[in-house]
Amino acid sequence: MYKNTLLNAIQAGAAQLQHYFNGSFKVSNKEGINNLVTEADHAAEKAIIDVIQLHFPDHFILSEETGEIKTDSPYKWIIDPIDGTVNFANGIPICCVSIALEKDGEMILGAVYNPFINELFFAQKGSGAYLNDKKITVSSKDKVIKSCLVTGFPYTYLDSPNGPLQVFEKLIRQGIPVRRLGSAAIDLCWVAAGRFDGFYEHKLQAWDSAAGFLMVAEAGGTITDFDGNPYSPYQPHILATNGKIHQELLDVVQGKK
């Protein structure tokens, strides 16, 4: 029942993305430059929450635009109605709906759907990760110098030592390809699918990574914070890799290399 609700909710959200994409819609700005929210974000979020609350009206919900709908339930739905809003607002089809379900603090289900290229990623705790019903696994590259990486940059840039621009510069000066797609959820899913070997970012919210990090874990990858501790989506830093390059890339992110 949880899986069906998750998939129905993600389809409902995606239908709103398809309805508004390349059309006319209102756009406003949140904190920081180009931190956009659109009419489509709100429509998708409403459609998703309506599906979830139809079946589980007592469940806790954490969603990017609405915030928290608090209850005493051990179940929490974590929703990003459009991950990659800047892409969406500019007609770039690298964006998605991302929904995860957490029980008692542990992520148990996750789905990420980009309807524009028909890619639905799904993961269930202990049961693997899938792309359009085909099981996926992380890559097997064992050195950072051979890897293809992906990252993102925060809207409100903090000039911290060894920050996002410094880490990016260190990698690209070595000739390592580092991409910037503009959607953390897709970045994580593409690590899970073996397209990227690693992903790091300095400032994410829970809705950005909740579904994607379960995808990487279930595909056989490794996910930590920047101290090498087990990852929690409720802190800002993430390093997700195929596992084989994890320590080496962690040394770069920490400024040790």
Residue 33 has pLDDT above 70, yes or no: no
Confidence of residue 36 (pLDDT cuts 50, 70, 90): low
- CATH superfamily placement of domain 2-135: Fructose-1,6-Bisphosphatase, subunit A, domain 1 (3.30.540.10)
* 8 A C-beta contact, residue 238 and residue 205: no
Q: How many C-beta atoms surround the C-beta of residue 46 within 10 A?
A: 17
Confidence of residue 31 (pLDDT cuts 50, 70, 90): low
First to last CA, the chain: 47
The boundaries of every CATH 3.40.190.80 domain in the chain are 144-253
Phi-psi region of 3 (alpha: psi -120 to 50; beta: other; left: phi over 0): alpha
Residue 21 has pLDDT above 80, yes or no: yes
Confidence of residue 187 (pLDDT cuts 50, 70, 90): very high
Q: Are strands 36-38 and 27-29 parallel, antiparallel or unpaired?
A: antiparallel
Q: Which among 94, 74, 80, 103 has a CA at the least distance from the CA of 10?
A: 80
* 8 A C-beta contact, residue 128 and residue 219: yes
Residue 55 has pLDDT above 80, yes or no: yes
Give, in degrees to the nearest 5, the angle at Cα 210 between 238 and 199. 30
Residue 103 has pLDDT above 70, yes or no: yes
Scanning the chain, the segments in alpha helix (DSSP H) are: 2-20, 39-55, 85-89, 164-173, 184-192, 206-218, 246-253
Please provide the average confidence, as pLDDT, over all residues in the chain.
93
CA of 92: how far to CAs of 99, 156, 249, 254, in Å?
A: 21, 22, 29, 33
CATH topology classification for 144-253: D-Maltodextrin-Binding Protein; domain 2 (3.40.190)
> What's the average model confidence in pLDDT over 31-52?
83
Backbone angles phi, psi at 206, to 5 degrees: -60, -40
Confidence of residue 181 (pLDDT cuts 50, 70, 90): very high
The boundaries of every CATH 3.30.540.10 domain in the chain are 2-135
Q: Which among 89, 111, 133 has a CA at the least distance from the CA of 13?
A: 111
